[in-house]
Amino acid sequence: MTTTQTPPAPPNPPVAPYRSTVVPPGRDGFPQLLRAEWTKLRTVRRWNLTLLGAVLLTILISLFAASSGKVETSGEKRGPAPTGPGGIQILDSFRYVHRSLPGDGTLTVRVDRLVGQGETRLSGWAKAGLLLKKSTAQGAPYAAVMVTPGHGVRFQHDFVHDTAGSEGDGVATARWLRLVRDGTRITGYESADGSGWQRVGSADVPGLDGTVQAGLFVTSPMVTRMERSFGAVSVDSRPARATAEFGQVAVSGTQGDWRHTGVGGRLPAGAGESEGAGTSTGTGGAFTVTGSGDIAPAVQDMDLGATSLSGTQLGLVLIAALGALFVTAEYRRGMIRTTFAASPRRGRVLVAKAAVVGAVTFVAGLVASVVSFVIGQPMLRANGHKPPQFAELHFTDGPVLRAVAGSGVLLALIAVLALGLGALLRRTAPAIATVVVLFVAPLVLVSILPLGLSRFLQQVTPVAGFAIQETRTRYGHVDSLCLPEDGCYPQGPWLGLGMLALYVAVVLALAVWRVRRRDV
């Protein structure tokens, strides 16, 4: 090797990138990227048709579901279901042994025993305890402290409010209860021995002013047994009767004699036949009371809101196809090279794509769900899904807004998930197939698989996102079957949607990582 005296070659002189002298330089910012992606989405006619098809399919299937079922009311005419404070539908049937309480006062009692009557076992939510109620009419405001066989001591008022006390050992040993009225402020206490008292709960119940009724109550909700095998569900609901023995009854501030009343002679429509009234005996310090029924909000079998939005379950197939194609079509046609040449930060490109396709499918999904709900609800009502059996839903109700807007979010998340899978797999067919198998297969399977597995699938697969469509309010202090085929998701709306969002975030993050690392 010969050495030469030529100086080392200078490093490449900085080359000025080509700049057009005619067109002002374009800006390479995120808004420009969004606009580019929006232009792509907007100008492919097939994608527009797919989006339109998704909206139409969603609406059509929703209306089909809304129009297909009729409620046949049995010949017997039932009275209107009682409604509680706030207009919600309630159950209010129990045996009541009571006196008038014009002012402040205190009730104390020892619940010695709470047992079931007859063949059926006792529900975990059978109740025995002390109750203050404005009147003996169904739906009147109340506050109560009670023992239950399955859920310990509870303080409840006005049907929907529930506070847990000590778990204790159910009703195996005697338990002391006390209810104190101070104006409209009601406080419940419990004690194991009648001397050391613990507060269970306290509430200001505005309805309990003036003269109220105060006394002992017993009730026991229906015992429901369910057998479910492969799509065939047999539900067997039987009224149960509970008997409680009360001792050491001490009251202050009350007037008049003890009166024995069966509140709510009959349970409302849909809950079967049951005598709300029971029997009660005793005077002075000890009573034996038998009652049947429940004091709780009524639970509805059918979710009218979700029914009128059910087209989303099929619309998602087209939305998923759109989301996947939005990136796989670029790979197939080679367009992706142009895209990445124009905007070399690939992760940002993918995020822009996700934002555009998510926003567009959200709007499309929102349009579809608003139209489905607005047209579907009158159809459902025309088919007999109306009060008193079914509560009427209004567009401005919180859960309805959540379900309708949530359906748009749901479809947007599905589109972004498909986009992420498309970027990961780079092929149309596997991306669409994966989304469908992740979403639609569980939706079909939950009604035929064993219950435990179905609930598991509802919680861990992306299908969980459909929980957002529920419009029923669920209460922790009421037993409900929560069957997957009724559209009941055990985890509740927000956790469900959160699960789906988690999937989307993970897949999109993986896609960004992969797109940045791999050659195009």
Residues interacting with another protein, by CB under 8 A?
A: 61, 64-65, 68-70, 227, 229-230, 232, 302, 307, 310, 313-314, 317-318, 321, 324-325, 332, 428-430, 432-433, 436-437, 440-441, 443-445, 447-453, 456, 485
In the sheet with 175-182, reading across from the earlier edge strand, the strands are 198-204, 185-191, 175-182, 105-117, 241-252, 286-291, 279-283
Distance CA 235, CA 252 (A): 45
CB of 205 to another protein, least distance (A): 39
CB of 459 to another protein, least distance (A): 14
Determine if residue 13 is left, alpha or beta; phi over 0 gives left, psi from -120 to 50 gives alpha, anything else beta.
Answer: beta
What 3-state DSSP class applies to 410?
A: helix
CB of 470 to another protein, least distance (A): 15
Q: Which two structure tokens, joined as six digits, stand for 267?
A: 């349970």
Q: Which two structure tokens, joined as six digits, stand for 459?
A: 């919680």
Identity of the residue, 302 or 375, whose beta carbon is nearer to another protein in the bound complex: 302
Identity of the residue, 120 or 191, whose beta carbon is nearer to another protein in the bound complex: 120
Identity of the residue, 63 or 214, whose beta carbon is nearer to another protein in the bound complex: 63
At residue 253, φ and ψ (nearest 5 deg) are: 90, -5
CB of 414 to another protein, least distance (A): 13
Distance CA 47, CA 324 (A): 11
CB of 449 to another protein, least distance (A): 6
Identity of the residue, 55 or 218, whose beta carbon is nearer to another protein in the bound complex: 55
Identity of the residue, 317 or 501, whose beta carbon is nearer to another protein in the bound complex: 317
What 3-state DSSP class applies to 362?
A: helix
CB of 71 to another protein, least distance (A): 8
CB of 329 to another protein, least distance (A): 8
Nearest to 48 by CA among 497, 508, 360: 360
Contact 211, 102 (CB under 8 A): yes
Identity of the residue, 179 or 314, whose beta carbon is nearer to another protein in the bound complex: 314
Taking each continuous run of H as one helix and of E as one strand, the counts in the chain are 10, 18
Identity of the residue, 70 or 516, whose beta carbon is nearer to another protein in the bound complex: 70
DSSP state of 477: T
Contact 123, 479 (CB under 8 A): yes
